[in-house]
Chains A and B, each alone.
Chain A
Amino acid sequence: MVGNLQPCAARVLSPCPRPLGRGAIAQRGTPVSSVQLNDIVKRFGSFVAVDKTSLTIPEGAFVTLLGPSGCGKTTTLRMIAGLLDPTEGEIVIGGRRVNDVPIHKRNLGLVFQNYALFPHKTVVENVAFGLRYRKVPRDEISRRVKMALELVQLPQVGGRYPKALSGGQQQRIALARAIVIEPDVLLLDEPLSALDANLREDMRVELKRIQERIGVTTVFVTHDQSEALAMSDRIVVMSNGKVEQVGAPADVYNTPASEFVARFLGASNILDGRCLSRGAEGALLEVPVFGKVMVPSAKAPHLGGAGPAKLVIRAERLVLRDTAPDGGLMSAPATIDAVDYQGQAARYFLRAGDHSLQAINMIDERPFPAGADVHMTLRPQDCAALPG
């Protein structure tokens, strides 16, 4: 619990004090809502931006749509918002089909990458904007605006114009403007991308704190994997208009469902090989460089049986040593082509026969020099297997 917040401030924007937590929200009716997409298709002419996507976003969850630009994540968000109509399929928010509900009646909070604050209105007028269309009495408006500004930790800037604020402050105000209306769902379209690196990490923590405090269902769009991993309850990885994988951050990271996910999240080595057999204890793969590897079942959920297969090795799981290990570990000799020194860690570009691999290791004293001959070691349970 941060500071000396009143119970009322915790459920910040409702009119009277009420206990903390999601229970309080449930009592109040449903200020948070689940979102469901059923077989959504969006076509622009002949271009298919979103292809038969179904997704369930549970109440109060923080769900991230993650993918490279053009993968359909923003299009999906804009369809939930009502800024785009789906070509096919159904959007359900809080049990209500909203395909034909115009955006101004959907009660959603929307935060844009470029903040989209009204430049001709003061901060207070910006934050109060949505309340003016909700028949909220005037003194109630000023009370809720004040609380929203306190929630984003900018209570003193109310009289200023957006131009007089820094990028980070503007984004906080944009967030305050979106949540002051107590939206059913909060939609965030790359809200941190326009901020510089340090500020981005601070805002990441801040945004997550605020989201947890008010418990609003949140859909977050980003191309930044570290944002997605740090903030989400669930990550939806998208590529070419399709959902590649849905799961908790750790699951998506450790057990990628496809080569795309493995490559997009973090640095991975992917070795083409064969699955020799699939048993109860795991899948036996034969791959170049390391030979036979027994991947535990939990790390090979998508692998059916014998046939072509891929072994995914995270760069930070590949540990370099001077000497070959005694036993229990997989090991293979390699030569270091290049070293990318990063302070606390180093990224090594390795060559083993015809294969190039990457390893990211913490540095004990000094990194291995380029040209050194080393042994790459690896625990079988740190690998994941994909169908080939």
Chain B
Amino acid sequence: MSVEARERRQPWILLSPALGAVALLLLVPLIFIVVYSFWLRAAVGPDTPGFHLDNWQRALTDPFYRYILLNTLKIAAITTVFCALLGYPAAYFITRSRGNKLILLLLLMLPFWISYIIRTMSWINILGSSGAVNTLLLSMGVISDPIRMLYNEATVILGLVHFLLPFMVLNIYVSLDGIDTNLEDAATSLGATRWQAFLQVTLPLSLPGLAAGGLLCFVLGAGTYITPLILGGPRDAMFANLVFEAIITQLNWPMGSALSLLLLLVLGALVAIYNRFLGMSQLTKGLG
């Protein structure tokens, strides 16, 4: 075999275990779900195979599903905005700190060492009726009865911001770190104040990182079901909770399949729009 032929084959040989795993564990189940979504659930006995559009029709027309979908997108959007507002200054600070950059980045990664579920549940110990905040306020005599702070949309957003902020900071950091600091110096030497230099030079150049972080936060936020389950009230269900409900509680696999594919399509469309304007390469940078 010639050297060129060997070099052409080598990447495929190296990729084949991963490609095999993806095909077996992701692609095949996905095909199952697509097929399932066209089946019907029978009142008794096994589901009815076939090509029925009933599940899709319900998923697309039922106002309850539409309300939950829009609410899910709204919560994900609010979460993303908060992550951006909180994450940008943090990322900027880390970029500009000289000596302890590595320690700060390590601190940023630290939450990932603890299970996301445990981190989410920790809010119960802080905001619950016998949590830290209520205990403190009670002991100080500010309040006589515990305040109800948990189990609403605000705590769901709080939990999501808590979970997603590091992704946002990392993405913005990667973007900012690649910007030559001489650019801001050049801008100020030309007469711009520090703030004007930031707005004119650093901010526009870091937008790809901000967009990548935003996309990641939005997609992860919109797909979550643990946070609303732990921190939300009965009316704060997000779309993934509907899928969970349909498949696990009602054992309605066809309907659950259609719902999960609908969410996949909506988020997929978003990623496609992002890719059209900014390209996927920026996203992979932030994950590295």
Interface-side segment among B57-65, B178-186, B240-248: B178-186
Q: Is the CB of A177 within 8 A of B204?
A: no
B205 x A104 contact (CB < 8 A): no
Residues of the A chain whose Cβ atoms lie less than 8 Å from the Cβ of B183: 116, 118
| Pairwise interchain contact A110-B186, C-beta atoms closer than 8 A | yes
A129 and B182 form a contact (CB under 8 A): no
B191 touches A118 (CB 8 A): no
Q: How far is the CA of A81 from the CA of B187 in the complex (A)?
A: 12
> Contact: A116 with B191, CB < 8 Å?
no
Instruction: Check B185–A110 contact: CB distance below 8 A.
Output: yes
Contact B182 A130 (CB under 8 A): no
- Distance to closest chain B CB from A103 (angstroms): 5
CB of A61 within 8 Å of the partner chain: no
A355 CB, min distance to chain B CBs, angstroms = 47
The answer, among A81, A117, A120, A134, for a CB contact under 8 Å with B189, is A81
Tell me if A108 counts as interface (CB < 8 A to partner B).
yes
- Whether A104 lies near B201 (C-beta < 8 A) is no
By the criterion CB–CB under 8 Å, are A120 and B191 in contact?
Answer: no
Q: Chain B residues with Cβ under 8 A from A102's Cβ?
A: 188, 193
Contact with A along B188-204 (1 / 0, CB 8 A): 11111110100011001
Structural contact, B193 and A104, CB atoms closer than 8 A: yes
The A interface, classified by DSSP as helix, strand, loop or mixed, is loop
Q: Are B205 and A83 in contact (CB under 8 A)?
A: no
Chain B interface SS verdict (over half)? helix
Decide: B186 and A116 in contact? CB cutoff 8 A. yes
Give A96-118 interface residues, CB cut-off 8 Å to B: 102-110, 112, 114, 116-118
**B180 surroundings in chain A (CB, below 8 A):** 114, 116
State how many angstroms separate the Cβ of A127 from the closest Cβ of chain B: 10
CB <8 Å contact, A120 and B204: yes
Q: How far is the CB of A111 from chain B (nearest CB, A)?
A: 9
Contacts of B182 in A (CB 8 A): 112, 114, 116
In the complex, what's the smallest C-beta–C-beta distance from B96 to chain A, in angstroms? 14
With a 10 A CB-CB cut-off, give which of B185, B194, B196, B205 has the most chain A CB atoms.
B185
With beta carbons under 8 angstroms apart, the residue of B190, B193, B194, B204 that contacts A129 is B190
Query: Once the chains bind, are B185 and A116 in contact (CB under 8 Å)?
Result: yes
B residues whose Cβ falls under 8 Å from a Cβ of A: 180, 182-183, 185-194, 196, 200-201, 204-205
List 6 extra interface pairs beyond A81-B185, A177-B190, A178-B190, CB under 8 A: A104-B193, A106-B189, A112-B186, A118-B187, A119-B205, A134-B191
Q: 9 pairs across A/B with beta carbons < 8 Å? A: A102-B188, A103-B188, A104-B191, A110-B185, A110-B190, A116-B182, A118-B187, A118-B201, A129-B190
